[in-house]
Chain A
């Protein structure tokens, strides 16, 4: 299988470490300034300082986009994470008390190495990579996010899946005492998502453990979440506690909730509309640094790209598949 590198990145476009650190400083200061404006946060910060440990030894990746990332504030205050509530600002408000460590993941099904593993033992064998990816939500907005994580394909290999393993099934923590949103029955808990084994073996998906060079904030799926950049955001399951190598395809959370609106594949596709809204365009959201008016009148919608612009790496996975039926 030939994996082509994205053509849009020249070495000159890759952010130097110095610039990156400067950017971090700038972002931290603006994030603090921004967060003080958001009413109702007792602590006055979106993510408490003690939860913002820096990750070390992070390598860059050729899969990163050169597009400007969204601000730390945008990424940590505008979230879909129904385990902490259904409004966009619920996750950051309701996840402040969530304690993501210690954490373990149960591996089961058709694999040689199954059992319950400490998070550290799963992550440690791998080098952390920064992957700056586009995120396209099924609600027709998008962001650019600098994740830090490890390639899913390498983690899968670590558990030695057997030939009967056709799907990799992920589940989120199911604990209504720690996740207040689970007291509402808006989705069937635990949240469940899955990839085909071929999708999971692709080099693009990662298990993210960090954001902007720091430990992953609770509202973004701490301590570990999936990132599948060519699929709608809801495929990128958060707070993962189990990985199951399955022979059969499970019904995933949004499929269960509304099967005519959300499919198993959920590939970003401008030609297949959501039954209630168009997927042809998207709003790259974000409070622009130029000022408030700019963020309102300058936030032009842009055309949505097939596979969210990652077609070169993933289109071959769907050869011969009717993407209109398998939405």
Chain B
């Protein structure tokens, strides 16, 4: 097997299964097989999916820096799958809120989305990720060309909104969202730093001319 086939038929399925473990644990804990969800199971489910959504956004955002620093270019082959898992966990977080927390009560749902800023922010991040997930196939990517890249810079915005959403809803102790914020700042800061360095290194005439599209 060559390396590409090995990634496709061995490593990708393995990573796929690993990415499903947090969801499997929610199911296992629901039936008290792997653990418990505690006294407030709905809140626990919602928090776990939300946390994993943020973690997968950060993992996805770590692919490019890791690749550039280590030279492991094969990492990019996992990026779309990791991004789709971020969307999956956001979707589960949203569905838990919609069905279990709000019990599909339309008045409560619209009040939450339009009157509670931290939910407005989270919902906006969710909409961005829907657009990205819906355009994630190779065929659509080719068809969209340049606009695809612009749309998919949306993960930076979704990451910032997601951490903000978390930070804003904690009652008082912001130590957990602060960790996410620090990691996100590092991942985005790295990109800014690299971009600056590259611009500075380029000769003057190229700066506005054929600047290569950044990959994120």
Q: Which residues of A contact B (CB under 8 A)?
A: 34, 37-39, 70, 73-74, 77-78, 82, 86, 88-89, 139, 141, 184, 186-187, 257-258, 276-278, 281, 283, 285-287, 292-293, 295-297, 299-301
Asked, given contacts A139-B171, A276-B169, A292-B30, whether A88 binds B116 with beta carbons under 8 Å apart, the answer is no
Q: Write 6 A-B pairs (CB below 8 A) sorted by A numbering.
A: A89-B38, A278-B112, A283-B42, A287-B39, A292-B37, A296-B41
Q: Chain B residues with Cβ under 8 A from A286's Cβ?
A: 39
Question: When the two chains form their complex, are residues A276 and B41 in contact, meaning their CB atoms are under 8 A apart?
Answer: no
Are B36 and A38 closer than 8 Å at their CB atoms? yes
CB-defined contacts of A39 to chain B, threshold 8 Å: 35
Chain A residues near B45 (CB-CB < 8 A): 296
The one of B41, B116, B118 in contact with A295, judged by C-beta atoms closer than 8 angstroms, is: B41
A34 to B103, Cβ gap below 8 A? no
Instruction: Give Cα A80 to B111, complex, Å.
Output: 27
Q: Could you count the A-B residue pairs with CB atoms below 8 Å apart for me: how many are there?
A: 77
Quick one: CB contact mask for B24-65 with A, threshold 8 Å, 1 for yes? 000000111001111111110100000000000000000000
Instruction: Specify which chain B residues have a CB less than 8 angstroms from the CB of A186 in the assembled complex.
Output: 172-173
**B168, A276: Cβ atoms under 8 Å?**
yes
Which residues of chain A are within 8 angstroms of B37 by Cβ–Cβ distance? 287, 292, 295-296
Query: Which residues, 129 to 187 on B, are CB-close (under 8 Å) to A?
Result: 168-169, 171-173, 175
* A195–B40 alpha-carbon span in the complex (Å): 30
Is B76 close to A, CB under 8 A? Answer: no
Binding site for A on B (CB under 8 A): 30-32, 35-43, 45, 100, 103, 108, 111-112, 116-118, 168-169, 171-173, 175
B100 touches A77 (CB 8 A): no
Smallest CB gap from A281: residue in B: B108
Pick from B108, B116, B168, B172: contact of A86, CB below 8 A: B172
Whole-angstrom distance from the CB of A77 to the nearest CB of chain B? 6
Question: Top 8 nearest A-B pairs by Cβ distance?
Answer: A78-B39, A86-B173, A74-B39, A285-B40, A186-B173, A292-B30, A296-B41, A37-B36
Considering the chains assembled together, what is the distance between the CA atoms of A78 and B44 in angstroms?
11
Contacts of B40 in A (CB 8 A): 78, 88, 141, 283, 285
Q: Give the chain A neighbours of B118 by CB distance below 8 A.
A: 276
> In the complex, which residues of chain A have a beta carbon less than 8 angstroms from the beta carbon of B111?
278
- With A187-B172, A276-B116, A276-B168 as given contacts, are A297 and B39 in contact (CB-CB < 8 Å)? no
Given known contacts A278-B111, A295-B41, what 10 new A-B pairs fall within 8 Å (CB)? A37-B35, A78-B40, A86-B175, A139-B171, A186-B173, A283-B40, A285-B39, A287-B38, A296-B30, A296-B37
* A73 lies within 8 A of B39 (CB): yes
Residues of B within 8 A of A276 (CB): 116-118, 168-169
- Complex interface: chain A residues within 8 A of B169 (CB): 276
A286 to B39, CA, bound (A): 5
A57 to B39 alpha-carbon distance, docked (Å): 31
Q: With A and B bound together, what is the CA distance between A299 and B169 in angstroms? A: 22
Q: Contacting A37 at CB < 8 Å: which of B32, B43, B103?
A: B32
